[in-house]
Amino acid sequence: MKTKKFASLFLASSLLVGVLAGCSGGEEGSSSGGDTIKIGANLELSGAVASYGSSEADAIVLAVEEINAAGGIDGKQIELIKVDNKSDAAEATNAAIKLTSQDKVTAIIGAATSGNSVAQVQIATDTKTPMISPSGTSTTVTVADNGKVNPFTFRTAFIDPFQGTVAANFAANELKVKTAAVYADNASDYAKGLAASFIKDFEAAGGKIVAEESYVAKDTDFRSTLTRIKGSNPDFVFIPGYYEEVGLIVKQARELGIDVPLMGADGWDSPTIVDLAGADALNNTFIITAYSAEDPDGKAKEFADKFTEKYGKAPNSFHALGYDSVYLLKDAIERAKSLDGTKIKEAIEATDNLELVTGLYSVDEFHHPIKSATIIEFVNGEQVFKTKVNP
């Protein structure tokens, strides 16, 4: 979910110079008149990652309808303004400019990917418009490269390195393994971040890392490195990466007789992985996701039922995160008792164990969520809810 980081930063800044030259930074972006609250959704409704953005849009619509049917926020109805950023960072910046300067929205939800979220950060900051990225998992969405927190930017999904921590705790405490190997995609910051936090926390939990290997995205032959990993006899293999390679890795690992539990993160979460690896090979593998439709917890179950009723299919994590973003915002506006951007921002920062579909939600000083994670096990090609790890 981390795309075009640098390109988008560059575009965001260059566009700002060009387009916002006339808009002074102090402009009030949160003045919505009348008795509606305008919320912008800046999402990938077309283009390369349209499936992420449109999933979130569906769930956001559902959440807004629910809130409006129940009387809105403090008696005010929500008016949702959807803008398509075409899965493009420059378009995401344009969309954010439109939402803040023309529509004068109170807050923005979006974008689905980190790159397109980063592209809006500067505008959110300049216009003092709170912005919530439902599924941007890269650290850079809320923390700028110089280490400073972007004051008006928040996120609903946990950050990438947090998944490494969850995996380490799950391996050490639930599976009770003593040794682990790590096989990470060397071409992806996402995978390297997960691998680093897994190694740190697994060793802290008393485990031993017996092998640390890398591959590069687009490889197809992993047998030689897997043979090497097998030689080090790990009890567990952590494979942060994306499903296209992981599917092949899992298949080839099982062929070579690596029968220990394998684990990955949300990069595995795609139906394609079952085609690539085969249902048999995927048995005894685990992934971390923000959400499972099979979660028996009351709030999650209720959401799954409502969603299925409206759209005729089971929700996925993107749906759940989009839905939660709206409720996170609603909670903050209610506590802020104002539509002022700065007050809403302060209210979001003060969020403490808010109960959402994807679990309990709090915000740390870097605007990263501290929240529950769901562990899913593959059983004969089906994703089965295994356990929920609370923070």
> In the complex, which residues of this chain contact another protein (CB under 8 A)?
186, 213-216, 218, 220-221, 223-225, 227-228, 230-231, 244, 247-248, 251, 255-257, 272, 275-276, 278
Question: Where do the DSSP E strands lie in the chain?
Answer: 36-43, 77-84, 107-109, 131-133, 153-155, 179-185, 208-215, 237-238, 262-264, 285-289, 354-356, 359-363, 369-371, 373-379, 382-389
For another protein, give the closer residue by CB, 216 or 384: 216
Q: Which of residues 272 and 390 has its CB atom nearest to another protein in the complex?
A: 272
User: Which of 243/318 has CB closer to another protein?
Assistant: 243
Q: CB of residue 257 vs another protein: minimum separation in angstroms?
A: 4
Q: Which helix (H) or strand (E) holds 349?
A: helix 341-349
Q: How long is the chain?
A: 391
Q: Among candidates 190, 52, 53, 132, which has minimal Cα distance to 367?
A: 132
> Which residues partner with 370 through β-bridges?
362
For another protein, the closer of residues 213 and 297 by Cβ is 213
Least distance (Å) from another protein to the CB of residue 342? Answer: 45
**How far from 242 is each of 245, 270, 315, 339, CA to CA, in Å?**
6, 9, 21, 40
Element (H, E) at 243: helix 243-255
**Least distance CB 241 / another protein (angstroms):** 13
| 170 vs 215 by CB, closer to another protein | 215
Whether the Cβ atoms of residue 140 and residue 120 lie closer than 8 Å to each other: no
Residue 126 in tokens: 């300049």
**Please, which residue, 49 or 293, has the CB nearer to another protein?**
49
DSSP string, 129-182: --EEESS--SGGGTB-TTS-B-TTEEESSPPHHHHHHHHHHIIIIIS--SEEEE
| Residues 282, 286, 289, 292, CA torsion sign | positive
Q: Are 132 and 361 in contact (CB under 8 A)?
A: no
**Beta carbon of residue 244, minimum distance to another protein (angstroms, whole number):** 6
| Residue that has been written with the tokens 């028996």 in this structure | 296
Q: How far is the CB of 273 from another protein (least distance, A)?
A: 9
CB of 225 to another protein, least distance (A): 5
Nearer to another protein, 35 or 221 (CB): 221
Q: Which is nearer to another protein, 59 or 226 (CB)?
A: 226
Q: Residue 275 Cβ, how far from another protein at the closest point, in Å? A: 4
Q: For CA atoms 294, 177, 266, 96, give the dihedral sign.
A: positive
Minimum CB separation from another protein for residue 387, in Å? Answer: 29
Closest listed residue to residue 84, CA positions, set 40, 114, 124: 40
Of the pair 215, 307, the CB lying nearest another protein is at: 215
Q: How far is the CB of 319 from another protein (least distance, A)?
A: 22
